[in-house]
Amino acid sequence: MPRFALPADPDEAGLVTIAGSDAAHISGALRIRAGDRFAASRPGRLLELEVLRAGPAEVVARVLYDVPEPAAPRVDLTLLVSLPKKRLMEPIIEKASEVGARALQPVIAERCIVRIDDEKAETRLVRWRRTAQESQKQCGRTEPLAVHPPVPLAEAVRQGWDRLYVLHESAEELLSPADAPGEGRVAALIGPEGGLSPGEVALAAEAGGIVRRLATNILKVDTAAMVAAAILIASPWRPRR
């Protein structure tokens, strides 16, 4: 069952009110009625609620328990994803959210096939953020993946990262669990279908980027983003024995 993000903290009586599309989904698609329970969240907190009344316009529930979210990875990972063709950005956002990336920054690179003007960028940003919010419900995050407006590559790599990885097939070394930093503001730059240009690789390296490749084969943008995220987030958080 989805975990719903609450619009506000419970009131002094421990009650919450959910309206709009979430209320319609809870009472309609999920057929939740008075006496049923469902999971919810606030930033950094997990809750279980018991429904007092449910309708398509409003759901009122009381808090049964409210606990801190289990410790999240200290890796604050931002995926710098060059604008892909077709509608690949939505599944990238969905999977980045599930894996645990903190943010996704669309990047305008030299070889991007997709070109968007300001109006299209705003429309797509709304759609991308809606995808992040929907994924938040599905995978149980307490906060949605942050999706930023597209920026030029030169701006994306110069944001004071503690560690920046530049993923390129020409690199001699593979990105590996040994590269996983365990904490800090980390970014991984993924090029477009045509790859990063030599000038872009050099520019990112000048900004402190560490150039790595992901595999012997050349990966698609969406595959590369998820492989990089899994290595940089999951590897440092294997349970210690």
Beta strand spans in the chain (E): 4-5, 15-19, 37-42, 45-54, 58-68, 75-82, 103-108, 146-147, 151-152, 163-167, 184-190, 209-212
| Spatial CB neighbours of 213, under 8 Å, sequence gap ≥ 6 | 167, 168, 169, 170, 171, 172, 173, 174, 175
Q: Which residue has the higher pLDDT, 87 or 209?
A: 209
Average pLDDT over residues 76-87: 91
pLDDT of residue 235: 54
pLDDT of residue 237: 41
Least confident of 52-66, 67-81, 106-120: 67-81
pLDDT in tens, 120-164: 888 999 999 999 988 988 887 878 899 999 999 999 999 999 999
Residue type, 232: L
C-beta separation of 23 from 156 below 8 A: no
pLDDT of residue 95: 95
pLDDT in tens, 14-72: 999 999 988 998 998 889 999 999 888 888 888 999 999 999 999 999 999 898 876 66
pLDDT of residue 71: 61
pLDDT in tens, 152-203: 999 999 999 999 999 998 898 999 888 877 778 999 999 998 899 999 999 9
pLDDT band for position 234 (50/70/90)? low
pLDDT of residue 239: 40
Average pLDDT over residues 93-115: 93
Place of tokens 């597209």: 150
pLDDT of residue 44: 81
